[in-house]
Amino acid sequence: MKRIYQILAALLALGTWTSCEYENYDDQKGTLSPVIAIQDIRKLYQGQDVVLTRQNMKEAYQVRGTVISDYANGNVTPGTLVLQSFKKGLTKGITLHLGDAAANYSLGDSILIENLENAVLTKVNGALQLKGINPGSITKVATNRPVIPINVTAYLLDSLPENYEATLVRVYAGAIKPNPAATDTYTGVKDLTDGTDTIELNTEASATFATTRLPASATFTGIAMPYAATPEEAPKTRLWPRNLNDIVDVGGPVYEGFPETFEGPTKTSYTSPATLDLKTGKWRFTQALLGPTAGRDRFSLPGLQAVRFQQNLSSSAYLQMEFNVLNGASKVSFSYGAYYTDASSTFRLEYSTDDGKTWKAYGPNITDANSVAKTITYTMDIQGKVRFRINKLGLGTTNNTSINNGRLSVDDFAVYEKM
């Protein structure tokens, strides 16, 4: 039941449900707008090709958006571009098949298609496409428009693909499986996991970075697209990086067993320090427990619990590895957020190379935890054996002015071998 509630919460957060049948109503003029939202075009497809008309578009005949594909760098289906827009709380995208005219448009171009009539909405290899658009009806309105990717997990991409199809997304702490060899390149389809699920990384042979060495791990940005070889096949989500700037936080392979997802056993008390046997090894909890409360503890789907640190303490609370990883570290990542409606807090990553006798801070103090979970990635170059901990600083009681010291959630802690 918890998982059902979590998926419903994700749907609501994405704005999947709307009370309006169509979104081309002009609130200022009190009339129907000639511009239809991309989400309303997508709704027209019910398993069969659809010829667009003013009638089925409720008197609309235009669409606008920003080009999020990068034709110049080649990781696109030939003759296509991907258009995305944000309208009335929804980010949606769609693929346009323009033939040779697709090369006329660049990443970040804002375009208006002035006449959609008689274009055909169809499905190609599991993804919706608009075909038959007259290139002469397309006007470039602006260039170099910024597009901010949606931060998402592989689990959400795989379980709710229709919410993300043809949109720009970012998957933090991704790892290629199996670990790539030194001679492996981006070319082709690779399995990509972030510990929540597995999707596919797609790089066409025509991409300018196709022959670049494939990293074992990175944060990957790209266009989410379903793929199915036949209509009968269930589509699998593929992530299409647009260029090498979409791959950051490059590191070595994730250590076996990581990320630590804190899914068992249980710990229900803050006050009793305890060392728990988790899937990666022994972890020490000091003024911390394992919280299972959906909507409050910021665990990553499909998980059901996360570490929760106590609030208002005057001394530090810790989540600490009681074991070493032996091949150094190129990167550490984890997700974090404020518990429920609590104030933010202050924490930092620390490491030890002497079996936990002494600890050093790695990177600055982090103070931006809020009700939306986010992922932080630390890149590093640590040789030999090492262990890590999170130190939530004891600042005293929250007063919402000079002191913020609410409860903190942490999940999906990953350590990556040195490259």
Q: In this structure, are 157 and 117 located in the same domain? A: no
Considering the domain boundaries, does residue 64 fall inside one?
Answer: yes
Percentage of the chain exceeding pLDDT 70: 93
Could you read off the pLDDT of 142-191 as tens digits, one per residue? 999 999 999 999 999 999 999 999 999 999 999 999 999 999 999 999 99
Considering the domain boundaries, does residue 3 fall inside one?
Answer: no
76 φ, ψ (degrees, to nearest 5): -140, 160
Considering the domain boundaries, does residue 1 fall inside one?
Answer: no
Domain count, the chain: 3
DSSP string for residues in 116-158: -TT-EEEEETTEEEEE---GGGEEEEESS---PPEE--HHHHH
Tell which residue, 340, 373, 413, has the closest CA to residue 10.
373
Tell the burial category of 34 from Cβ atoms under 10 Å away from its Cβ (0-12, 13-18, 19+): middle
- Return d(Cα 350, Cα 366) in angstroms, integer: 12
Q: Is the pLDDT of residue 10 over 60?
A: no
Q: In this structure, are 33 and 55 located in the same domain? A: yes
Residue 14 C-alpha from the chain's centroid: 13
Residue 76's CATH number? 2.40.50.140
Could you read off the pLDDT of 182-227 as tens digits, one per residue? 999 999 999 999 999 999 999 999 999 999 999 999 999 999 999 9
Q: In this structure, are 116 and 51 located in the same domain? A: yes
- Return d(Cα 130, Cα 123) in angstroms, integer: 9
Considering the domain boundaries, does residue 226 fall inside one?
Answer: yes
Cβ–Cβ under 8 Å, residues 66 and 110: yes
Give the pTM: 0.88
Q: Cα 276–279–280 angle (5° rounding)?
A: 90
Q: In this structure, are 53 and 127 located in the same domain? A: yes
Residue 306's CATH number? 2.60.120.260
pLDDT in the model for residue 27 = 55
Place of tokens 């071998």: 417
- Residue 233 belongs to domain spanning: 150-251
